[in-house]
Structure 1
Amino acid sequence: MKKITLVLFLMSSSLALAQITFDWEANNTSDVNGNITHANGDFNVTASKNLTNDFIVQFGGNTGGTSGNVLFSNDGIDVATFTFNDALNVDTFRVVNVSGSSSNFELTFSPSDGAGNMDVVITYAQNESKVVNLNWSRVTSFTVTAVEVGGGSSRPVLLFDDLNVTLPPTTTTFDWEENAGYPSGDIYSIEHSKNGITVTAKNIGDANFVVVEDFSSFNVGLTGNVFYTTDGVSLQGCTFTFSQPVNIVSMLTRNAIIAPIGTFRLTYSTTDGVGNNDVTLNYPENTTQPVNFNWTGVTSFLVTFVNVNAPNQRPKIAFDDLIVTTGTLSTEKNTLTDTKLYPNPVNDILNISSVTTIDHVSVYNMLGKEVVRTKYSSVDVSGLSSGVYIVKINSDNKVLTKRIIKQ
């Protein structure tokens, strides 16, 4: 029996991406309207259609690469709708055309929601089976619409199996608007809690931090409360420590000194996670800049300051909108130990060595969305933006996951 699979990626962060397969093997219920709901753990998908006969679940005879039960309707498909009980990332779906007609059919897979999700159009010949790569994020429902190529009125008889989805990452923005304060009277630290995660920000030196109301009134690119130091004279840097491992996406930082005392160089660094690189930015006086980290598996990070023109000067720094995620991709233990990926960092072509058989290679961004898929040992990543990506190599029922840096 196929079942929910939790891929546990073994690294210091202990973060994981939950992969779920809806395969209609068990836990199927139908309602008075003929809709079938299939449950897998805490998640379910309801299949409905607008033609006369209802969906049924039956053994598929291993037709077209299916296994076990399939979702089926013998009067054909006009429009089928699949609805989830929660927003999910939709990865792949196996669909088999078992129509008696020799006509070709065009199937359009359309998501109802999710930013940036596009329709996928696939043409099916008679008795053709395909795994459709959808690669949608945060979808609550989608439709499959079938039309006969050439304008005929026939409808295909389709088998549906192995709808693979993943859980979207949980995004938390630490904005210091609420649930923020001094821990146990320590005026040199600020704790802020959201979504079950606590971040503790602490200065290095004897400058205390405060939460400032209505910082947006200064019209400097920050809104509402910010995390701010009132004394820049002795400030040497600050640390941010989390109550659990997180992936750090970005943060807004402002050099709040107005006087023309020169540019401050801020370096952001972390000692944990794999492949997390330092980020260095220059801040002239009275300027705000976003910082893009793309760090994974982080429990703390350090921000240090130096004045480019006058090393003894110290800034007054304000922080806002620290964005983190949990539940996304990280790196699992290698099961293909001799495999190498090179060059890394990579600009255009990523090469894979020491793999005799490749079923497929998938490249994921740090939100868990597949952005490249191929069956070759040379992977073209030239179209990807700079940043950190996860590469999953499937070979002989084994999986290797590694991190790469796209320059």
Structure 2
Amino acid sequence: MKTKLLLFVCATFGALQINAQCSRSGSFMQSDPAYSISGTGGITFELNGDKNVVFDSNFMTVQGVDLRVYLSKTDDILAVGSDAIEVTTSPLLGDNGMTSPVLSPITGMKTFVINQTLYPNVNLSTYDYVVIQCIGINERWGYVNMAAANGPDCNLLSVAEKSLQESIAVYPNPANDYFEITNNSPNPISVNIYDILGNRVITSETSRLKKQSFSLANLNSGVYLVELKSDNQKLVKKLIKR
């Protein structure tokens, strides 16, 4: 039994490492002729629970006054019904590692992690646009109209409906002495935590609680796998203890 579990954990851990995924993407559209922008951008969901906005390596624009990145339901974050959320935590840096001078180049791949604590219910079908906004002059810099979802794991990530993947958040991660699980679905969940050798180190009863806390004080630093089950769905998330 333990051998089977070990094989399962190793296989799951390996799957997490290759970041199998589902994504939506499109080409950047230039909003103002004075500010060049090009390349590809979009939103990517991974089976390990990560949600990111990603600009591909062909991305290129110029520096503005405090450029920020948003997910939006419209191509203009100032429009009614945009419900825009910011995915940047600081201004975009130019190739010189600075936010100045204005019009200096910004090129290459960029990844922005969607904060699942602040925005736990973001799913692939909710937001159709990635928008770069110049906060300093309150002007849209450019935007992406994302195409349909594409990738090997779109069925597992339940693009069409809210899944366990969309309902559960594990944070903080990495964690120190404790972590929490929030459940934004109406269904109860059960939790098991395994070390990378397949040993179950923490278990909990099935619960409808919206938030549960778990102590890591007695565990060594390292990588653990959090297995969550609800009805016929199962989700495994990687957890790092510092």
TM-score of Structure 1 vs Structure 2, range by shorter chain: 0.3 to 0.5
In terms of fraction of residues, the more helix-rich structure is 2
**Whose RCO is larger (CA < 8 A, sep 6+)?**
2
TM-score with structure 1 setting the length: 0.27
- The higher radius of gyration belongs to 1
What is the TM-score of this pair, normalised by structure 2? 0.40
